[in-house]
Amino acid sequence: MTWWTLVIRSLQYHLRSHLVVMAGVAVSTAVLVGALLVGDTVRLSLTELTQERLGRIDRLLLAEHFFRDRCVGHLRERFTEHVADVAPAIVMTQAALSEAGSRRKVGRVTVLASGTDFWKLRAAGTPQPKKLPGDFEIVINQTLAEALGVSAGDTVTLRLPFGESIPSDSPFGEKQDLVKSMPELEVIEVMPDRGFGRFELFPSQRTPRIAFVSPAGLRDALEIDGGWNAVFLAGTAETTIATQDELPAAMRLDLVDVGIRVERVRLEDPTSADDPKPAVYDYWALSSDRMLIRSAVDRAVRNAVGARGLPVLTYLANQIQRVGDGSAGGRAVPYSLVIAIELGRSFPLKDLAGKVIRPLDDDGIVLTHWLADELKAEVGDRLELTYFDPESPSGKLVERRATFTVRAVTPLTPPARPYLPDRQLVFDQRPTLANDPHLTPAVRGFTDQGSIEEWDVPFPVDYERVQEADEEYWRQYATTPKAFVAPSRGRELWGSRFGRTTSWRIDVTAADSADQLAAAIRKHLDWSQLGVVVHDLRARQMEASKGTTPFGVLFLSLSMFVIVAALLLVALLFQLSILRRVPSIGLLASVGFRRWRLLQWFLREELLVAFDGSVLGVLAGVAYARWIVWLLTTVWVGAISVPFLRFHATATSLATGFLAGLSICAATLILTVRGVLKRPPLELLRGRIDRVSSGKVRGRLWWSASVVCWIGAAVAAVYAATSGGMAQAGAFVGAGFLLLAGCLAAFWSWLHGRPFRVEPLLGKSPLWRWAIRSMSRHPRRSMLTIGLMGASSFLVVAMGAFQMRPSEEGTGGFEWMGESSTPIYADWDVELRSVLGASMKSEGATVFPFRLREGDMAACTNLYRPSQPRVIGVGAPFIRAMEKRSVGFQWGTLPSDRRYGDHPWSVLESGAAGDGEPISVVLDRNTAMYSLQLYGGVGEEFELEYDGRPIRFRVAGLLADTVWQGMLLVGERDFRKMFPEESGYRFFLVDVPEGVARKAKQGLEERFADEGLEFEPTRDVLAELLAVQNTYLQTFQALGAIGLLLGTFGLAVVQLRNVLERTRELALLQAVGFRRRRLAGVVFRENTVLLTVGLGVGTVCALVAILPYQVASGSDLPLVRWLGLLAGIWGLGLLAGLAAVLAVLRLPLLSSLRNE
């Protein structure tokens, strides 16, 4: 005989109780494995989705400007060395699609125009169109087809956001008609939402709306000759060439590909007899098709040419007039181009006396002779310039004024024939430096027009001011400037976030050719700052697919109650199993077995049981995980927004779950058996393993502990009464929990020393009194049961307090929120008046526009980890309005600066202290904590990368459960600084009287259909965001109910064990005349008391905790659901208790008196 013989014999003999323990172990392991597999499933589903969506694409080069076809050719040549694939495309986000002939339309459509190269990159087995769309055809994905309600054969119109090169926020930028259309497109195929059918730049588990069109058709619509704005790269993951630094070079991107022109400007002196004739001016002119040159280009030019380059800023003065005495014979001259340039050696402008004019101070201005004549101005006169503010963020042009003092007058030679941009300047007299129309960059609709009357410009032209002399000047001199100011003053007045230079005047000696100059400048260019950004799509999206929420851990936490309940059940079952063997253990101890030897024996035996249980648990865990995944795709879909999950299981999770289950259960078993083995052999021989170790002293101690808990509960309740929101709910639940802890401590105290009597509460029924007293027979068991039942019923009920419903504070009192595909510049008061009528407008309908930088949705509805969250630019009108509104957004944590105490939104107005200083950001605390993992609260700084540039933020305030979840809110000033290229407003909040809400929505959507404006009710948006949290709570409650169910089984086990231990006592009672049914009644009462006390204490404490909050928040209590659940558990508990009753009825009681 060996130890293993003992183990095997014991396993065989105690098979039934081992099977029950094994089942308990299996439940624990199953829950562990299940939770880990749910984590696997979410993570791998996201990864799978990402891989399927990206196919072989590794990187994407996306440019704001269309680059030439040849760049793709260069890239291909370069990449053949690296065995990589290149697919050029035109990618446009935020398009809108409408069905021809109907009012239906949908926005937020991503348009992809590409050739077969692109489709070669798709993942194996994913669909591609049967035929690539022709010029008047379109392929759309299923989601888009369903959203629009169209199918193959239908005709649709695609509206594309195509802004002018000149930023819309500047006076020369277009603010209307920023949409180009592709009408009458036939839907030739509806693609499944798989592979490229769900391609998107910003990862989300939601299916995007995708449309595929032909590149040629798209270019026609955009009125461009050729080129692409995107290149997809595959097989480049390992190549360094496809990086932000290298890729533009590999493509040989040139200045022209980002809209920058370099040309030589030379004007000869026609009066010279020399051959060649000497030049009046001869320089390289560098200008941009967006009129203002980006500061990144300025830096590059400065670095490339140094002092040989002269920055020029040209601006249009709406009017110039003398200050004070307008009647001195002069007039106000309209629409004059004024140049800010450094006079002196590089630009030796001369006065009428032929003397070089000295560099100007900020107050100085030099007039051309023509302008001085018109104004009748002389040196020393004061002039007033009227001009439009260089930035018109709200779309409204603001006219400003500035005064100057005339320092000099410079001659201007009349040309021999009128100048037009496509013609050479012709003079028959010696021209001057001022005779240079090229100092003004080309602006379509303005500089290319033959007369002022023909200007096609986005700002209003007051033709009444224009006189024949002005028209004549334009005909003769066109864009030739009329005045010159100091560059510092020019930048101060007309510089903007779009740039502070309109052209560079570079000495001709700086380069031999335009190409050479461009090459020199290219060397210093940071392409990302010119809108050429390489997106490491695969790396970024794969990283994002790791998700913000570790679902494995989440479900482990949610399932913790089930796990603990299962472990307690394992402990109880094992104790029950070991109870029968206590005398045998006592015998072994008495014959000289050391504790360690006995522990070894039980360890071997129980490890085998735990091992088998864990193996079973792994199998059950797979089934459990499948069940949870099914629930997540059906009943609990709110937690993941869309049912995209496919079950996945990794060997790691299976092994981890198995080992964790095995270890935890083995530890539980060891702890249990260790507790038994610690008993003296004599006690074991007598079969006593659960005794109260001390009496009244411990009872009084626990009674004191319960009083402390109740005092704590009272303090928490007082705190709760003085706080608000979720803090209030949390404090109330904390108070309830302390109340429960106090009750349990009091119960424990009662079990030990009975410092108070409860029997009178139960009347005179001796059986009930007996049942009550029986609870203190095995206090630990009774406590365990009541604790488990109490805690689980508390959690199930109390968690209901955290169920959230959309509130006024969550929506800020706004009815609708909306987005448009393209920026909208509108006078919303006018628009609302036209939609609702003047009287309705007076009732307080308001639209607040916001700037929007597209990005990842950083809300809990997006399972992907956001790296570039959407940014909202909050303007002053909204901030002012929030100061006055009776209903505002709920703040979780207000700005720490007391200055903003009464008006917290004002914190966004202060702006960053300086360059490189963090930008103040307000965000919802859920976004901060769950999506961005910012736990530091107000004051925490963090960095995000946009367009290849790191931007630092500082949390200025946290909102609480609002519709702003998923977005970063910054002040509009900061927004413009961060994203100078983002013009206009694309995000809107609408506050309208309830009665006309729908009318306003429909009216505005129709009015801005071309811009793709769509509204959603704020309550729906908030409800969807809150659904995630609510679903988790439901999940927690459901799993808590499972824990409760296990608790009822535990109760049955306790009862059964009590019965087995008391066999002799019961037999004796039968011997003295008790009928079996009466004895069964006692046992049943004991069970009922434990069950009712456990459930009752938990439920009452939970209700005490949450009722005040529910009443305060005006929420409805799901009383019926709770009562139904608790009644169900109570009923099940009673049924489980019947097992003990049946045991009493079946036990051979009297024979136990005879037997040993």
Partner 1 sequence: MTQLVVENLRKQFATRAGPLTVLDGVDLSLPSGESVAILGPSGSGKSTLLHIVGTLDTPTAGTVRLGDTDPFALGEKGMAEFRNRSIGFVFQEHYLLPELSVLENVLIPVLATQTIAAEQRDWAMELIERVGLADRADHRPGELSGGERGRVAIARSLVCKPMLLLADEPTGNLDPRTAASVMELLLKLQTQTGTMLIVVTHSEAVASLLDRRMYLEEGRLVEDRQTAVDG
* Residues that bind partner 1 in the complex, under the rule CB under 8 A: 1-3, 5-6, 9-10, 12-14, 583-584, 586-595, 597, 680-682, 685, 695, 1156
Complete DSSP assignment for 304-349: HHGGGEEEEEEEEEEEEEESS-TTSS--PEEEEEEEE---SSSS--
Minimum CB distance to partner 1 smaller for 277 or for 686: 686
- Spell 221-240 as b/e; 16+ CB within 10 A means b: bbeeeebbbbbbbbbbeebe
CA distance 832 to 810: 24
Minimum CB distance to partner 1 smaller for 586 or for 617: 586
Minimum CB distance to partner 1 smaller for 13 or for 756: 13
Q: How far lies 773's CA from each of 720, 762, 770, in Å?
A: 38, 12, 5
The percent of the chain in helix, strand and coil, each rounded to the nearest 5, is 50, 20, 30
Minimum CB distance to partner 1 smaller for 587 or for 607: 587
Q: How far is the CB of 675 from partner 1 (least distance, A)?
A: 16
Minimum CB distance to partner 1 smaller for 777 or for 952: 777
Tell me if 313 sits within 8 A of 487, measured CB to CB: yes
- Residue 747's contacts (CB-CB under 8 Å, 6 or more residues apart) are 783, 786, 1093, 1097
Q: How far is the CB of 625 from partner 1 (least distance, A)?
A: 38
Using a 10 angstrom Cβ sphere, with 0-12 exposed, 13-18 middle and 19 or more buried, the burial of residue 985 is: buried
Q: Which residue has the tokens 């909306």?
A: 818
Identify any residues that bridge with 848 across adjacent strands, giving them in sequence order. 989
Q: How far is the CB of 583 from partner 1 (least distance, A)?
A: 5
CA distance 598 to 585: 8
Q: How far is the CB of 594 from partner 1 (least distance, A)?
A: 4
Minimum CB distance to partner 1 smaller for 487 or for 681: 681
**What's the DSSP call for residue 762?**
G
Q: Which residue has the tokens 């980002």?
A: 258
Q: Which of 883, 962, 899, 951 is nearest to 928 (CA)?
A: 962
Q: Which residue has the tokens 């419903």?
A: 805
Minimum CB distance to partner 1 smaller for 9 or for 1121: 9
Q: How far is the CB of 598 from partner 1 (least distance, A)?
A: 9
Q: How far is the CB of 573 from partner 1 (least distance, A)?
A: 19
Q: How far is the CB of 593 from partner 1 (least distance, A)?
A: 4
Minimum CB distance to partner 1 smaller for 695 or for 766: 695
- Residue 1130's contacts (CB-CB under 8 Å, 6 or more residues apart) are 1091, 1092, 1095
Minimum CB distance to partner 1 smaller for 523 or for 773: 773
Minimum CB distance to partner 1 smaller for 13 or for 627: 13
Minimum CB distance to partner 1 smaller for 273 or for 591: 591
Q: How far is the CB of 1147 from partner 1 (least distance, A)?
A: 18
Residue type, 624: Y
Tell me if 845 sits within 8 A of 816, measured CB to CB: no
Minimum CB distance to partner 1 smaller for 275 or for 1156: 1156
Q: How far is the CB of 4 from partner 1 (least distance, A)?
A: 11
Residue type, 989: L
Complete DSSP assignment for 463-493: TTT--HHHHHHHHHHTT--SEEE-HHHHHHH
Q: How far is the CB of 11 from partner 1 (least distance, A)?
A: 9
Q: How far is the CB of 578 from partner 1 (least distance, A)?
A: 14
The beta strands (E) that lie in 481-619 are given as 483-485, 503-507, 532-535
Minimum CB distance to partner 1 smaller for 682 or for 1150: 682
Minimum CB distance to partner 1 smaller for 220 or for 683: 683
CA distance 624 to 1132: 22
Minimum CB distance to partner 1 smaller for 12 or for 240: 12
Q: How far is the CB of 679 from partner 1 (least distance, A)?
A: 12
CA distance 390 to 1099: 66
Q: How far is the CB of 561 from partner 1 (least distance, A)?
A: 36
Minimum CB distance to partner 1 smaller for 15 or for 1071: 15
Q: How far is the CB of 1142 from partner 1 (least distance, A)?
A: 24
C-alpha R_g of the chain: 40
The beta strands (E) that lie in 354-426 are given as 364-368, 382-388, 399-410
Q: How far is the CB of 585 from partner 1 (least distance, A)?
A: 10
SS (H, E, C) 102-162: CCCEEEEEEEEEECHHHHCCCCCCCCCCCCCCCCCEEEEEHHHHHHHCCCCCCEEEEEEEC
CA distance 690 to 777: 9
- Residue 333's contacts (CB-CB under 8 Å, 6 or more residues apart) are 319, 320, 321, 371, 374, 375, 470, 482
Minimum CB distance to partner 1 smaller for 598 or for 1106: 598
Joined tokens for residue 1004:
């505005």
Q: How far is the CB of 795 from partner 1 (least distance, A)?
A: 39
Q: How far lies 522's CA from each of 260, 291, 299, 302, 1058, in Å?
A: 11, 19, 11, 12, 88
Q: How far is the CB of 602 from partner 1 (least distance, A)?
A: 13
